[in-house]
Structure 1
Amino acid sequence: MLKRNRISNETTSLRNTSLSVITSFVTILPVFCVYSYQENNLDVYPPNWWAGMQHAEVELMISGENVADDKVLVSEGNVQIKQSRALDSENYLFVTLDIADASPQELVLSLKDEDGSSRDIHFSLGKRAQGSSARKGFGPEDAIYLIAPDRFANGSVGNDNIEGYKDKVDRSFKGGRHGGDIQGISNNLDYIKEMGFTQIWTMPMLENAMENYSYHGYSTTDYYNIDPRFGSNDAFIELSKKANENGIGVIMDMVLNHIGSEHVWMKDTPSSDWINNYGQFVGTTHKRESLHDPHAVASDVKGFSDGWFVATMPDLNQRNPHLANYLIQNAIWWVETANLSGIRVDTYSYPDKGFLSQWTNRIMKEYPNFNIVGEEWSVNPAITAYWQAGSQRHDDYDSALPSVMDFPLQAAVVKALNSEESWSSGFISIYETLATDFLYGDPNNLVIFADNHDMSRIFTQLNHDKAKWNMAMTLFLTTRGIPQVFYGTEILMGNEGTEDHGIIRSDFPGGWPSDSDKNAFSGKGLSDDELWAQKRIKNLLALRQSHPQLFKGKLKHYAPVDGVYTYFRVVDDTADTSDQKLMVILNKKSVDLPLAKYAEVLGSDVSITRVSDGQIFNASETLSLPVMSANVFIVQ
């Protein structure tokens, strides 16, 4: 049986085991007694909080045997108990603290039972570090590296298998745990930095105490503890600190829609409506269009939002206000505790719509410069745009979500590169998709990507064609938006002949001590093509770091003609040649291209420098470009 974080009247050790980790923004408060056990135990979530938050209350979920009928008193200070409420289970009590005027302090909450016995909870209200609320989230000048932590690097073999966890390491099994962990990521931050990535997004690393297929992390069984096979809360905090010191932010993948079937809530549910469909499996329809369809019937909306993905992923009912509070506070707790620069939300549109508005507004009110990206897997821009803050929408829905994953552009790029050029196919797919950017509140804040952990790798999607891969990656690293690159894409990793996720998420070569023949971190054993691809990504990312203003600027593109698609990144709307610009040309056939045709944006009295070889051209020249090429130029 797993032993979780316990707090009791038998000990005050939690009060004395805090660790201050100083980062650029946040003082990290406590080292948690993860998996420690004490008698007369009570669990409390969140395990600590902070004075000086925008929201004047914090609601504690207290769980323990027969705690629901306990009377709660607070020891001292300017903190008041606003509400104490039990739901259906006799083992949960929800206590709301009014902390509007609270100063940092150690609270003692006394829980008194009607039989005269009592139990104490020591609860810390910490001091927020200067600048916490003003933290800057990831943005258009950044580049995100997406990592499957179990498959990236094994930095500590000692946590490969943990007593009490059924899913053991089996590197030969595509769906098994392979041993990658937080230490493996930390050990290779130099590689990530040298490649030019400025943000890390990992698949979830919270506890997934599932019997099998637990490596992916999307079946949460504990929202407040890192899975020990990845490391610990302290290890995650230290990773964030070390990444920050290297100029790299950390984005946390959060799952609001569902939990794992081994979560303690499935054994003792706080209320009968905590899980959708009263805890019984009913599959979701996946018909996200029902949320927007003016002709939809209510049962279709319910079938989408309340249905489960699979039987092992119970669907949460965020309409329950206590569950909603739990999820909101959990997100804020991790931002403060681990000094996050962003959040990625899994299956964004599946939870209750009203809750999503509440969740995003609470977080963005707490951190006005923060960034959150939601996964809405639709290739219809009208559907994805609906969720982004500032977008025009068909109703008065209040969304504070800053960013959305740009699935429409990903699909358009693959379609364009795998199609013959004509008036209705080829590059026109990209052009037409970008032309719908008027739907978005902020198209430059969309997260764009060639592939991710849930789809075939881009090299495979493009039929293992290096030239097409080069065009795709050049576009995604230079067009509008915030680029995300899936680990291994930089070395042409593929999944030929299968769409199995365990193969798509194959081990990164060199991440295991036994990987003696091939190491992508050092370059040992990589083929010439793999080394070329790695260098290409590195050079394009270096351009983003040397010219950040351009990537925060506007996109100007010309309609594709005869297999040539040309676009510019400019700091503003003007064609003033004194402003530096970026010009990108993608062409499917060899072409002699007079630069004068782009004078409207390029200007006439300028020179352009090709990034790949440093060759300089004048605006009056004609470029001779080989078949299937992707060229990037700095305009000066």
Structure 2
Amino acid sequence: MLHFRFNISRIWLIVKAPSFTSPLVPRFLVSAASLVTNRFVNSIATLASLTFSYAAIADIDVYPPNWWVGMEKPTVELMLHGDGVANYSASINATDVTVVDSKRLDSENYLFVTLNTDSAEAGRVVISLIAPDGSSHDIDYALNARRQHSQSRVGFGPKDAIYLIAPDRFANGDESNDSVDGYKDRLNRDNKGGRHGGDIQGIIDNLDYIADMGFTQIWSMPLLENAMDSYSYHGYSTTDYYKIDPRYGSNSQYQKLSEKASEHGVGLIMDMVLNHIGSGHAWVQDKPSKDWLNNQGVFVGTTHKRESLHDPHAIQSDIKAFSDGWFVPSMPDLNQRNPHLATYLIQNAIWWVEFANLSGIRVDTYSYSDKGFLSEWTTRLMQEYPNLNIVGEEWSVNPAITAYWQAGSHRHDDYVSALPSVMDFSLQHAVADGLTSKEGWDTGLTSIYETLATDFLYGEPNNLVIFADNHDMSRVYSQVDEDINRWDMAMTFYLTARGIPQVFYGTEILMSNPNTEDHGIIRSDFLGGWKSDTKNAFTGKGLSDDERWAQSRIKQLLSLRQNYPAVFEGSFKHYAPVDGVYAYARQANAKNPPSIQGDKDTNDTDEKKVNSKSPVILVILNKNEKASTVDMNKYNMVTNGKKNMTRLKDDKEFASSETVTLAPMSANVFIVK
């Protein structure tokens, strides 16, 4: 039960402060006006004698909104947000849950309450907030049971293929949420940087297409609320870490997407932003503490000099300028050195894994967050989910810098990282350069070969996420000058090389961005995602012959992962390019490889580790403008004496010892058995 007492001085402060944004302001003013009108019209002195109790809290937001019992770490820190809530103390009515800490920071509108759930059973508990005068406000809080085997969930891996979607540009499944009251950025499909209406329902409606193509994971650009005035569709300006943007759908609809995707054999990877928020976030106007945002909440641009984190000659000011700087004024940079903010972000990631049954996480602008926090964040996530996969975006073409962040990599310092995977930007750069530059002793395909030769830097190179393009760069078809043969070589490589392939939506139908680098064009609408579209990639209606061929080629290449998953979890061996021809092989690892101690030949040793009964996927790229002939005996070290091989594109049979003619500018895939 709430107890109300009024204080005229508090009402006067509210009236005099038009910038005050608490949702309680209208309630206070209405209450005061009612009292003045109905009871004290002739006696303002009587009104002045009334006082408010702290217990008159109308709305309290609780983050996380619920938790689970049986977690690896038994404590959870709740952030309570409400007008004046920091003036309260917290207690709990349960015998199996205790309040171990209650703390306020600089703002009176936040209270941090830590619960110990070590002995808790699933159910609901009541958290009582006690005002200084003894009155109280109760919060009903749920501690849920976890899904069976939640902790042992297996994340995405090398046997998978990821489909990257810009949700606003993929498919409009629910026109009723194209524009939503209270959100200024409304539907404007004619604006390349505007909202186009794609949503979660559009993804759900087309899960058949995604699965039929052969994709086994979906990575969607962020779906959380971005309550910004404009250019909000990309999703990287979070304004509520626990709420799906209503223009995409709802939290329950996101759960439904995960469930329906799982029924199709497809996992869900969530794109998380730890480094910054949108300027429309409540933390900007009312920071829990003065140090919640970097640079005292004032814009200072980042230098983007990620090298400073690794430079043995760097000075501290350069490191700080990189990590603490903001991307743009509309994206305030978070200070994860604040332990309460760090805990908030860690718990938020865990909450979404549990709530939406995620198979993985992609972390935006990974290295821009505080290094110590990233160690804590990854360690905590992997303690809770030892088999989950998390991939960090470290946009560097230097593999030494990229490898630094992956767990198990050799580092120049004692930094601890539990991050399983990183995005392989160095390989992406090498492939784009290798396929478009002239062949030479140190150019062309050699760029790809030399980049892969640095895999010794990585803790687990086969767990890197590899890609021809993504939402922040030119589409691969444009990168290779809209040459369909080069596109085929690129996509064949990415869908058969070591690592976990990610394909950007529309790559399968040759989407491009000629003569522009504008992200709004790069993220154009997928054909067939809107009722008015005359071409439809989901059904094939209106597609050109080249678009149809490209779509079937991606599907054909992805079928290899479905038919031979163990091969892609296994070894990768390549031959140095010679005269514009580059070859490599994939083969499953042996289940019980023999002891290799005492072996002197490293290559022979590695060959002993493969499964000799497994088929070999042999890929040969011919970048020459004319046909090339290849004696297949050259590759008998990786084909392990197998006699027959089938070419993927046409099912033509060959003997593994014969000479084969490779078409000009071609990607050739052979299944050797």
Deviations along 1:555-575, one digit per CA (max 9) or x if unpaired, are: 000000000000000123337
What's the secondary structure of 2:453's corresponding residue? Answer: helix
1:519 partnered with 2:519: no
Name the CA distance, whole Å, in 2 between partners of 1:39 and 1:296.
50
Q: Which whole-Å CA distance do the structure 1 matches of 2:22 and 2:192 have between them?
A: 29
Alignment counterpart, residue 556 of structure 1, candidates 561, 567, 573 = 573
> Could you say which structure has the higher helix fraction?
2
Which residue among 272, 277, 281 is the counterpart of 2:295? 277
Cα distance, 1:39 vs structure 2: 7.2
1:192-224 CA-partner distances (Å, limit 9, x unpaired): 011000000000000000000000000000000
What is the deviation of 1:77?
2.3
Report matched runs for 1:259-270 at 5 Å.
259-270=277-288
- Aligned pair count reads 602
2:653 aligned with 1:616: yes
Aligned to 1:182: 200
Normalized against structure 1, the TM-score is what?
0.93
**Alpha carbons 1:141, 1:544 under 8 Å: kept:** yes
Change (3 A) 1:181 1:3: farther
The 2-side partners of 1:423 and 1:310 are apart by: 42
CA distance in 2, matches of 1:115, 1:63: 20
Which of 173-182 and 95-104 deviates more?
Answer: 95-104
Aligned mates of 1:278, 1:117 — CA distance in 2: 36
Contact kept? 1:392, 1:441, Cα under 8 Å: yes
Q: What's the secondary structure of 1:349's corresponding residue?
A: helix
Is it true that 1:536 corresponds to 2:571 in the alignment? no
* Contact 1:446–1:481 under 8 Å retained in 2: yes
Match of 1:598 in 2: 635
CA distance in 1, matches of 2:284, 2:185: 19
Instruction: State the 1:116 CA deviation.
Output: 3.2
Q: 1:159 matched to which residue of 2?
A: 177
String of CA shifts for 1:338-393, please: whole Å, max 9, x gaps. Answer: 00000000000000000000000101000001000000000000000000000000
Does 1:330 find its partner at 2:325? no
Could you tell me how far 1:422 is from its partner in structure 2? 1.1
Structure 1, residues 564-590: CA drift from partner, whole Å, max 9, x if none?
000000123337754321100000121
Pick from 358, 368, 379: which aligns with 1:350?
368
Q: 1:581 aligns with which of 598, 616, 633?
A: 616
Name the aligned partner's letter for residue 525 of structure 1: G
Question: Shift in Å at residue 131 of structure 1?
Answer: 0.5
CA distance in 1, matches of 2:156, 2:93: 41
Instruction: State the SS of the aligned residue for 2:634.
Output: helix
- Aligned counterpart, 1:11: none
- The Cα shift of 1:233 comes to 0.2
Cα shift readout 1:394-451 (whole Å, capped 9, x = no counterpart)? 0011100000000000000000001111101111000000000000000000000000
What's the secondary structure of 2:209's corresponding residue?
helix
| 1:68-217 to 2 correspondences below 5 Å | 68-217=86-235
- Shift of the alpha carbon at 1:99? 1.2
The one-character-per-residue Cα deviations of 1:133-155 (angstroms, maximum 9, x if unpaired) are: 00000000000000000000000
Q: Secondary structure at the match of 1:68?
A: helix
Distance 1:570 1:170 in 2: 49
Corresponding residue for 1:607?
644
Instruction: Say whether the 8 Å CA contact 1:577–1:606 is kept in structure 2.
Output: no
- Whether 2:397 is the aligned partner of 1:362: answer no
Correspondence list, 1:206-605, <5 A: 206-515=224-533, 517-572=534-589, 573-574=606-607, 578-589=613-624, 590-605=627-642
The 10-residue stretch of structure 1 (339-348 or 582-591) with the greater mean CA deviation from structure 2 = 582-591
**SS at the partner of 1:44?**
strand
Extract unaligned runs of 5+ from structure 2.
Answer: 1-19, 24-55, 590-605
Q: Distance in 1 between matches of 2:341 and 2:641?
A: 61
Query: 116-125 or 239-248: which moved more?
Result: 116-125
3-state secondary structure, aligned to 1:634: strand
Of residues 462-471 and 75-84 in structure 1, the stretch that sits farther from structure 2 once superposed is 75-84
CA distance in 1 between counterparts of 2:614 and 2:75 reads 49
Q: Contact 2:642–2:672 at 8 Å: present in 1 too?
A: no
Check whether the contact 1:448–1:481 (CA below 8 A) recurs between aligned residues: yes
8 Å CA contact 1:73–1:109 kept in 2: the answer is yes
**What root-mean-square deviation, in Å, do the aligned CA atoms of Structure 1 and Structure 2 show?**
1.4
Q: TM-score, normalised by structure 2?
A: 0.88
Q: Secondary structure at the match of 2:271?
A: strand
Q: Answer whether contact 2:567 2:614 (CA < 8 A) is retained.
A: no
- Structure number, greater radius of gyration: 2
Work out whether residues 555 and 569 of structure 1, in 8 Å CA contact, stay in contact via their aligned partners in 2: yes
Q: Distance in 1 between matches of 2:431 and 2:344?
A: 39
Instruction: Please tell me the residue identity of whatever aligns with 2:618.
Output: M
Q: Check whether the contact 1:219–1:259 (CA below 8 A) recurs between aligned residues.
A: yes
The DSSP-based 3-state class of the residue aligned with 2:164 is strand
Whole-Å separation in 2 of the counterparts to 1:241 and 1:279: 39
Give the match's secondary structure for 2:106: coil
The one-letter amino acid of 1:609's match is: T
